[in-house]
Amino acid sequence: MFGVLFAIACGHARARPRAPVGDDDPTLLALANARSGNVLVRCSPPDAEITIDGVPSGLTSDYDGRRRLLALAPGEHRIAVRRQGYAPIEVKTTVAAGGGRQTLDLALPRIQGTDLDGR
């Protein structure tokens, strides 16, 4: 069961659980087999830290389409972006059950009076 929950929390809904999911739990079985949706993340600045549903997930540039796209399980997700010297942003996005692709265009507002080191 931990494998299923970890896979869903990380947005890798197509990952198979390590332990078999019982036929008596159709909700977990459906979540484990759901098609994920792909999200292209464009952010200014491009090297901002990204957190997905409370889980640190690297930099926004990791999901800019050149390296890969962000794969999320169907449903609503909270995406938070922050970088020192900029005001953080949090958005909600909903991934359709059939998968698909969407683009998030984000621009972090610069905090006046700070340099890139946050001073």
pLDDT tens-digit readout, 21-65: 445 555 444 444 556 788 899 999 999 999 999 999 999 999 888
- For residues 93 and 104, the answer to whether their CB atoms sit within 8 Å is yes
Q: What is the pLDDT of residue 68?
A: 86
Tell me if 81 sits within 8 A of 50, measured CB to CB.
yes
Token pair for residue 94?
């909903």
Whether the predicted pLDDT of 10 surpasses 90: no
- Each residue of 98-108: pLDDT tens digit? 778 889 999 99
- Is residue 85 within 8 A of residue 111, CB to CB? The reply is yes
Q: Is the pTM of this model over 0.75?
A: no
**Structural domains for the chain:** 1-34 (no CATH), 35-113 (2.60.40.1120)
Helix then strand then coil, in percent of the chain rounded to 5, is 15, 35, 45
pLDDT in tens, 46-55: 999 999 999 9
Q: How confident is the model at residue 116 (pLDDT cuts 50, 70, 90)?
A: low
